[in-house]
Amino acid sequence: MYRYKVIIDTYSNVTIKDSIIRKEYYVIDLSDFNQMVVDKAQENLRKLGKQLLLKARLEFEDFKSKCLEYETAINIKPKDINSLKSILGKIAIIRQESHQMQNTMYIIRERIRTFFLYLNYNYLLENDRDKDLIETMLEIKKIYKRWSDIVDKTYQKQEDMKEDNKVFSNQTMEKDADFRKKIEEFHKEFMKKGPHSREVTIEQGLELFEMYSIKLSQMKEIKEQIIKDQKLFDLNISKYDLLSEVEERISFISKIYDIFKTYKTKMDELKTKLWKELNTKELKDLSEIVPKMVKKLRNKNYENEPQ
């Protein structure tokens, strides 16, 4: 924008006398050319000014909506542990983004300040100046204080939620104690009736393996959630060794059941085929696939079963 301002200043100050070049055999009048340059520079200055103002307004509206979102979030009273975590999460985001938001405010202010600077030059708008520009500038001054108040309020909010933290911290410890009992039952049942038990057949074991794998996955989700809550409230992190033992055993026997499942799937496919649909390649592949999987296990020293 400054470049166009310089062009306008330069060519606007060229006098009629300076615009005429006289030589011995010809005379060149550049006054129309000078005016064309000024008009073009003014047009470009207006376009840039409008773009600048539009961008500043969009950024400003986005900034205001963020402020409103954060104000709403930290004004909510936590009803349960999830709402408490949501509020604490927002508080963390506000503090992390504080520097970035201040930079954004500075950029918006500079965009509008630049617009005002060139607006006074009378080249940015073809019609009357935007009256709401003054209101926008006043809002920007207010928004600095508004953001500062939001950041200050996060510290007050944390102080106000101390009692809520105690309540939900106790709830987390109760969840941990209940979960430990469930793990003990799960571990006891698995060790006695799991897919690795001597009393079950390989086919029964496959069904049990899939059932216990699903149960283990569900319990791991609960475990991860409890650990997150323990970290949130600065509690001792539980290890859940019995659950880890079940996971280790399931991981160990999964290789065996993978082999059996592959074999069983192939056999079930063959059972549904007519004799005329069979081919020697399929039979050969079936006879080779299981030995290959077994060999792969041996190469990984699979003999060491978890104790």
**Range in 54-68, 152-166, 282-296 the model is least confident about:** 282-296
Helix (H, G, I), strand (E, B) or coil at 78: coil
pLDDT of residue 215: 95
Could you report the per-residue pLDDT of 92-135, keeping only the tens digit for each? 889 888 888 888 888 888 877 777 766 654 444 444 455 566 66
Position 22 scores a pLDDT of 45
**Residue 38 banded pLDDT, cuts 50, 70, 90:** low
**Higher pLDDT, residue 264 or 183:** 183
pLDDT attached to residue 286: 63
Q: Which range has highest mean pLDDT (24-28, 32-36, 83-87, 115-119)?
A: 83-87
Question: What is the per-residue pLDDT for 159?
Answer: 86
Q: How does DSSP classify residue 276?
A: G
* Residue 166 Cα distances to 45, 79, 81, 88, 155, angstroms: 60, 13, 11, 14, 17
User: Exposure of 138 by Cβ count < 10 A (0-12 exposed, 13-18 middle, 19+ buried)?
Assistant: exposed
Residue 81 confidence (pLDDT) above 80: yes
pLDDT recorded at residue 26: 40
Task: Write down the domain spans for the chain.
Answer: 2-160, 163-299
More confident call, 20 vs 180: 180
pLDDT in tens, 214-270: 999 999 999 999 998 888 888 899 999 999 999 999 988 887 777 777 777 776 666
Between 265 and 11, the more confident residue is 265
- pLDDT greater than 70 at residue 285: no
Q: Give the three-class secondary structure for 27.
A: strand
* 91-to-21, 96, 151 alpha-carbon distances in Å: 70, 9, 8
Between 41 and 125, the higher pLDDT residue: 41
